[in-house]
Structure 1
Amino acid sequence: MMIRVLCVLSLWLGSVWAHGIFYDLKEGKALVFHINFSQTTPASFAKITIYEGESAIPLLESSCDERGVFAFVPPREGSYRAFVSGTSDHGEHTQEFDFEVGKDFSLSTYNQPLYERYSGVLSAVGLLLGLFGILSLIKSRKRD
């Protein structure tokens, strides 16, 4: 019974992050957004809208290129909000996140996606559950 519960739990945990919008910001001469549906599938031509501070009026509306990459040069320091919308074969996916631009127009902070903050912990838990499942299977076959 315990093995079945662990198998169902591991399948569910794997599907939680299977689809959606994933993002990463890098700084250089511009802020470069890398928008993906998964770690290997770019969100080609995903729509991106940038807002300054709490404004409801978009500062910029554009889209990513075919590799899911978008570059943005902020007009001034401050808080910004990005809204990303992309369509995959599983439907439309959206994501909204905030980021701060410093005086030198460098990236001060941004809200990292949940999967990025906890991916190490989830990977370790998944690995331990997998090893436990394999050991349980081997042990149950020795009893038979």
Structure 2
Amino acid sequence: MKFTLGNQYLDGAVSLLRRMPLAGYQSMARSRFIRIFKEPVQALVDARQDLISEYSVLDDNGKPVIEGDHYKLRPDATAEYNEAYTKLMNEDAEIDKATYTAHMKDIQDVLKNCKLELSGDEATIYAALCDALDVFEEKEGK
């Protein structure tokens, strides 16, 4: 299965998929689909941590300083950090993992038949996931 999805949607896509009430075969297809997100999510976590390490105030051990709930950025680096972070989050993750033959269709069906009421960020994530997987596009010859 090969598709691209914006970095900004990766974490939310996994959360959304986990929230869907599914049983049997559909639940198994979803679980397999979530597993293919493991590497792209970890790569994003690592990239964020690299940015934090590069632009934060560091303690005596070379670790980023945390103030309250946030990392303390160097005052001269805040704009650069924000620019780099925005660029990172706007990049697309290429997901290309071998699964089983009908996995794409199974996941498209799960998304097409989603019964959750969605709004806000969750609705945006759902739309991005559907776009990435061509859920609502009609194929020629069908």
TM bin (shorter chain): under 0.3
Bigger relative contact order (CA 8 A; separation at least 6): 2
More strand by share: 1
Alignment TM-score, normalising by the size of structure 2: 0.25
The structure having more radius of gyration, on CA atoms, is 1
Higher helix proportion:
2
TM, length-normalised to structure 1: 0.25
